Structure formats: structure tokens, C-alpha cells
Structure 1
Amino acid sequence: MDKERKVKNKKSESKLMYFGKLAFWLLAGYLLFFTSLPDYIDNAIDSIDTEEASQVTEAVEPVPVPVQAPPTPSVPKKKVEESCEKIIRGNISSSGEKIYHVPGGEYYDATVAEEKFCTQAEAMAAGYRKSKR
């Protein structure tokens, strides 16, 4: 029993030693590479004359590409107004408040419209609020 335990311990110790050495050499290589890299770059830059350096920078710098929005189909304003049924009625109350009425509303039929709109958003953009009834 004791011999088996010793054999297992030796195997696990040898694995630890292996991985420890591997980690050491990897770290040493990493440090060697990255500590000598700045010197290598500096030497390379010093060996290039200024004309070559400007060519290198021109080749490396990205050229901006203009981005254009896709063209939107233009519809004449008159055609849009003609195609819309202006069913939303807007009127100004005696107190000066701008109110719009939609079909089916309580006061829709009784409203004499000062302005008519195609959409509720259009009415709100003109400063009207929706009728409470």
C-alpha cells in the first residue's frame, strides 16, 4: 500500500516538475521576446530614411471612404396631400386651445375644422392635442 502511494507521489511530482519547467521556459521566452522587441523596432525605424518612412506611413494610414445614404424616392408634396384623406379635424377652442378630433369621437361630427390633417402625428406636430372624448 505504501509503495503504491510513493509511486503515485513520484508520478505527480514529476508531472509538476515538467509543468513547472515548461512554465518557466515559456515565461523566459516571453520576456526575452517582448523586452527585445522595442529595440528591434527602434533599429528598424532608424535604418529607414525619411522618404521611405513617409511612403510606409502613407501605405499604412487608412483612406476614409465617404458613406452615402441610399437615395430616397422623392414624391411631390402635392401628390402626398392628394393621396391622403384629411379626416382628422382640428379646431381652436374659445379659450385658444388647439384640439383635434378623430372619426368616432364624441364631438367629431359637430366639429367645424379650422385645419384638417392626414395623421394624428401631423396634428400634434402642428400644436394640437387629442380630444378627451
Structure 2
Amino acid sequence: MREDGKYVDSGENDNLIVQKLVANPNSLGVFGFSYLDENRDKLKDVPLNGIEATYDNVANGHYPGARPLYIYVKKAHLDVIPGLKAYMDEFAKGWVPDGYLAKRGMVTAMEDVRTKNADIVRNLTVLNGAELK
């Protein structure tokens, strides 16, 4: 990390990052999309490769600064850890556009991605690595 004062770690407090960005209009910040979206009256996004940070560009994977969320579960643990299978089922249901995860600021994946991942959870498909490419 830089030690010349040009980089300031603000931890996981996205509200603090927004406050610091507003106080210094020549600064850049890295934080979750929902905070940018909630503060568009004070902040603007920085297009990457000419692509703006919009909800649709994040959801469809076009915005280069976006990244998917992966959850890994050992199949052998599903029958051993009480509630784990139910948790995975519930988490998969939460990714609908008006679901509880979206209401908490997560960007909903596109329909084809949601369907594929729901099938993986339902069928307990073992990850082979090709899914990550």
C-alpha cells in the first residue's frame, strides 16, 4: 500500500467513504454500488473502459468494476450441518429483483444466471471450475 498519504483506508464504513469523497471532490473511492446509487446527487461514477456504473451494467456483467458473489459449500456438509441445505435454498430465492437481498443493496443477477444457480442449488451440482470461467 502507498504510504505517501495519497491512499486512505476507510475500512468497511461506506458512509464514511461517501463523506470523505464529498469533502474532497478530487478524490476517488471504491465501495459498493448501492452506496453510489443512493448518493448520485453527491457523487458520480467513473466509467471504466467507457462503461458507466449503472444498475443494468453491473447486473449484466458489463461494468468492469463489478464482480459476482460466490458461495461455496461442501456437498458432504449438507446432510451433516443442520439448516445448511435450507439456507442455500433460501439464499437462492433471495436473488429475485424484488427479493430481500436486492432490498439490502445487492444487484440482482440476470434471469439466466439466477435460473442456472437455482438449478445448481436444487440439484446439488458439484463445482468443477469451468463455471468460474
Q: TM-score range by the shorter chain?
A: under 0.3
TM-score (norm 2): 0.20
- Kindly indicate which of the two structures has a greater share of residues assigned to helix: 1
Q: Which has the higher strand share?
A: 1
Q: TM-score, normalised by structure 1?
A: 0.20
